[in-house]
Amino acid sequence: MSKVASPEDNLLIAALPQEARQRLVPNLELVNFPLGKVLYESGDTVKHVYFPTDCIVSLLYMMSNGASAEISVVGKEGIVGVAVFMGGESTTSRAIVQSAGTAFRLPRQQLKDEFNRHSEFLNLMLRYTQSLITQMAQTAVCNRHHSIDQQLCRWLLLSLDRLPSDELIMTQELIANMLGVRREGVTEAAGKLDRLGVIQYKRGHIRVLDRVKLERLSCECYAVVKEECDRLLPTPLDSVYVG
Amino acid sequence: MSKVASPEDNLLIAALPQEARQRLVPNLELVNFPLGKVLYESGDTVKHVYFPTDCIVSLLYMMSNGASAEISVVGKEGIVGVAVFMGGESTTSRAIVQSAGTAFRLPRQQLKDEFNRHSEFLNLMLRYTQSLITQMAQTAVCNRHHSIDQQLCRWLLLSLDRLPSDELIMTQELIANMLGVRREGVTEAAGKLDRLGVIQYKRGHIRVLDRVKLERLSCECYAVVKEECDRLLPTPLDSVYVG
DNA sequence: CCCGTTCTGTACGCCATCGAACACAAGAGG
DNA sequence: CCTCTTGTGTTCGATGGCGTACAGAACGGG
């Protein structure tokens, strides 16, 4: 800790082949982060990527009501700002220093230059992957903070967007597996939606009758994922069945 | 639904530039999936990637006690099997058909051929990203199924692996933010660990005294993430401070 | 048409976590 | 040394979701 930080203290940089590392190192800038420093906010364009050497950065998801959950943590083994090479440029999480220390910083463009050889196919795949990552992060948050009722709404909407009709063929048992809750919890939540006229449940068949109401009953997590998918992917998920 | 599926029904394929699509399409095989079909198990090497057209595939995380949680869902907007081009070849989740239908399948090698131009740097970044994705998935699962006590252990271990010492500078308030729980919950969990002699808590300073015991008290989530990081990344996170 | 299987609805006690409120202790700064 | 701020410990009632148990309904095959 007392010696001066070297780029190779970051395990990713240390693992680069000589030649790539030599191209990169001259562009790295040593930076010192205090506890609580925000590297970027949710939605910010990532201007630099950071290779921590002896600090820890949390990827925190902030909900609109102020509640939060850590999605992931990055230290000397990693890099902060994967959105740059995933292609999305920004993420839905905040990066905040959880343990003060140093990192090396690299301007976004210089990282992208290193990736010039991408085929368009690869770019597309990476962008899709980022949308998937968003979905995972949101799932983690949703698991922590939202009720079964809200999660069921979110889940129905996500599934609906990915299907060509307004009917799902799905037992409550299976939905419970997906959400990681008891089947009885799903029965109760689905019963409420049925009574509200939002869905119609018939032994393994769910028909969505009022999509707008479903969206109102859902937690914010659906909208976040939807918007991020629309932003990242070339073809928006059609939301045809709007009641 | 009644017409024959075309590769372009998948939005990613539809979004490819003409030239890339033409290279790809002849290698695509139309497959039909019943409900419940398992495309791959956790840990399997992914042999094909799948582009759904009118089915939905869930990425399910299965815990050792049989409990499960859906990490993500893939439909016509996506691709199943990102591990192939992320570089990890396998993932810690199971892919299971949640809504029967068709997809196009592409052998792994043919996808990788398309990516031949990768620099080694890119490959490294992608592999790291996969480890990050694992961490997210595990966080989602952990949020759903594990107690605050277990999660605190997991969190301490993850942080420890990413720092050069056995001491964390971190208030209970901040930990609570990270875990998405109340501060009081952290106080109680930390108090237990302190009484067990596993950690020593002193107003914003946590020293880990017995790492082995900490690992025993943690849920499985720590080990999963640790192993996946070690597998995917060139330099293993050192676990020097073992009591 | 009947019977077994699968799916859904409901009820009850239990417990982890929450929300709120408050007391106290350890440092930091003047 | 005193005071203010920040961090920690504890309590108490409320509650969402869990585990368990069981009954009825819908379907499907013989």
pLDDT tens digits along A59-99: 988 777 667 788 888 989 889 999 988 888 888 888 988 88
Q: Which residues of A touch B56 (CB under 8 A)?
A: 159, 162-163
Minimal C-alpha gap between B213 and chain A (Å): 22
| Partner-chain residue, chosen from A12, A15, A237, that has the shortest CB–CB distance to B77 | A237
Q: State the pLDDT confidence band at A29, using cuts at 50, 70 and 90.
A: very high
CA atoms of A178 and B72, how far apart (whole Å): 9
DSSP SS3 for B69: strand
pLDDT at A130: 86
Q: What percent of chain A has pLDDT over 70?
A: 93
Strand partners, B50: B80, B105
Minimal C-alpha gap between A174 and chain B (Å): 8
Q: State the pLDDT confidence band at B211, using cuts at 50, 70 and 90.
A: very high
DSSP A80: B
- Residue type, position A134, single letter: T
User: Please, what's the largest Cα pairwise distance for chain B?
Assistant: 68
CB atoms A16 and B56 under 8 Å: no
* List of E strands, B25-67: 29-33, 38-40, 48-52, 56-62
Nearest Cα to B84, choosing from A18, A7, A128, A171?
A: A128
pLDDT at A217: 95
Q: What percent of chain B has pLDDT over 70?
A: 93
CA angle in degrees (0–180, nearest 5) for B236-B240-B241:
140
CA A201 remoteness from chain centre: 31
With a CB cutoff of 8 Å and minimum separation 6, the contacts of A55 are A33, A75, A97, A99, A100, A101, A102, A103
Q: State the pLDDT confidence band at A240, using cuts at 50, 70 and 90.
A: very low
Q: Per mean pLDDT, which range of A14-23, A121-130, B165-174 is the poorest?
A: A121-130
pLDDT at B243: 33
The integer distance in angstroms from the CA atom of B58 to the C1' atom of D19 is: 26
CA atoms of A155 and B131, how far apart (whole Å): 25
- Given CB atoms, is B85 within the 8 Å cutoff of chain A? yes
Q: Within 7 A of a protein CB, which nucleotides of strand D?
A: 6-11, 16-21, 26-27
* CB contact at 8 A, B72 and A132: yes
Count of alpha carbons within 13 Å of B55, Cβ hemisphere only? 29
Is the C-beta atom of B72 closer than 7 angstroms to strand D? no
pLDDT at B9 over 50: yes
CA atoms of B201 and A194, how far apart (whole Å): 50
- The structural domains of chain B, ordered by start, are 7-121 (2.60.120.10), 146-232 (1.10.10.10)
pLDDT tens digits along B80-114: 999 988 888 888 888 988 888 999 999 999 888 88
Q: Per mean pLDDT, which range of A102-106, A113-117, A194-198, B198-202 is the poorest?
A: A113-117
Nucleotide nearest to A182 (CA to C1'): D18
- Given CB atoms, is B72 within the 8 Å cutoff of chain A? yes
* CB contact at 8 A, B161 and B237: yes
The integer distance in angstroms from the CA atom of B204 to the C1' atom of D1 is: 25
Q: Which residues of A touch B15 (CB under 8 A)?
A: 124, 233-235
- Given CB atoms, is B136 within the 8 Å cutoff of chain A? yes
pLDDT at A34: 86
CA atoms of A98 and A79, how far apart (whole Å): 15
